[in-house]
Amino acid sequence: DTTNCYSSTIFHCRFDGQELSYIRHGDELSLDEPRGVYEPSLTIFDSRYYLTLRNDKKAYVTASDDALHWQPIKPWTFDNGLEIGSYNTQQHWATHSEGLFLVYTRRDANNDHIPRSRAPLFMAIVDPDRLLVQKKTERILITERGVMMGNFGVANINNEETWVTVGENMHPPENLNLGADGSVFAARIHWSGPDN
C-alpha cells in the first residue's frame, strides 16, 4: 500500500532557554514504496550533513551542505555495487574526526532465522563523497544469539569513546529457547585519538 507513506524532513529550530521555536524545515524526503522513508538518523561530518533512512524494503542515504536541501535519496550499497541488505529497521551513524561510520543490520549474514535479519549489528566505514559502505571494513560489532536486536542506539560518551547499545528482543515466547536471555549489550568504541 503506497497511499500512507511516511516522509522525513529536518526542522531548524531555535531554543532560547525556555521555548523551542520553529524556524523552517528542509526538503520533504519521500518514497513511493510501502511506508515511505522514516526513522531518519542525522549526523554532520567535515561540515556536511548525512541522513540515513529506514524503509520496509531497503535502507536509503542522502547528503546535504545545509541540512535543508538534500541530494536525491539512494539505496545504501557497498563499494562493490551490491546493496547492503539492511531493511525494515534503523541504521545509525558513529561519527568521529577519524571517519564516518554506519552501524546497521543486514540480510545474507547467516541470519535468515532472525526476523528482519535484525542481528548481528555491523559497523563499517562510509565513503562520505560517494555515500557507499566500504565492504572490506565491515565488522560484527555485537554478535547474534538467535533473536532480534534492531532497535539500537549510538552515543558519543566523550571525545575518545562512542557506545552502541542494544537489548535482545525476547518476544514472542518462542524466543525463550533460542539461546538469548534478554541481555543488554554496550559495544564500547575507543578511538585512536580524541575527536576534534
pLDDT (0 to 100) of residue 6: 96
pLDDT (0 to 100) of residue 4: 84
Give the rounded distance of the alpha carbon of 132 from its chain centre: 13
Cell of 99: 571517519
Which residue do the cell numbers 524466543 mark? 175
- Model-level pTM? 0.94
Segment 117-169, tens digit of pLDDT: 999 999 999 999 999 999 999 999 999 999 999 789 999 999 999 999 999 99
Q: Which residues of the chain have pLDDT under 50?
A: none
State whether the Cα torsion 30-68-83-143 is positive or negative.
negative
Domains of the chain, each with CATH number or no CATH: 36-190 (2.115.10.20)
pLDDT (0 to 100) of residue 20: 98
- Distances from the Cα of 142 to the Cα of 47, 133, 193, angstroms: 30, 18, 23
pLDDT (0 to 100) of residue 110: 95
